[in-house]
């Protein structure tokens, strides 16, 4: 299959509950299940992003919307 998937969205029936998802907890769960997860990093004014890899070597990312995400220290 040509190309590479770089983004997809999962709709939520209950957006308020979906906003409660914590990217740190998701990264911890990936590690708990034997995968790898980098440390979450801020995307200033937008949210938090973490890159992960499952036990089969597939890369994926987790995102948490948070408009208060800070600019990283230089």
- Residue 21's pLDDT band, with cuts at 50, 70 and 90, is low
- Entry pTM: 0.69
38 lies in some domain: yes
Please classify residue 37 by burial: count the beta carbons closer than 10 Å to its beta carbon, then call 0-12 exposed, 13-18 middle and 19+ buried.
Answer: buried
Maximum C-alpha span of the chain: 40
72 lies in some domain: no
* 48-72 tens-digit pLDDT: 999 999 999 998 899 988 899 999 7
73 lies in some domain: no
8 lies in some domain: no
- Token pair for 42: 């801020």
| Number of separate domains in the chain | 1
43 lies in some domain: yes
Residue range(s) defining the domain that contains residue 51: 15-65
- CATH number reported for the structural domain that contains residue 22 in this entry: 3.10.180.10
């Amino acid at each position: 299959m040509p190309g590479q998937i770089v983004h997809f969205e999962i709709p939520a029936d209950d957006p308020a509950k979906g906003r409660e998802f914590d990217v740190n907890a998701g990264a911890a769960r990936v590690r708990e299940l034997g995968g790898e997860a980098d440390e979450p990093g801020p995307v200033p004014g937008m949210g938090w992003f973490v890159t992960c890899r499952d036990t089969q070597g597939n890369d994926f990312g987790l995102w948490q919307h948070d408009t208060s995400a800070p600019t990283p220290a230089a």
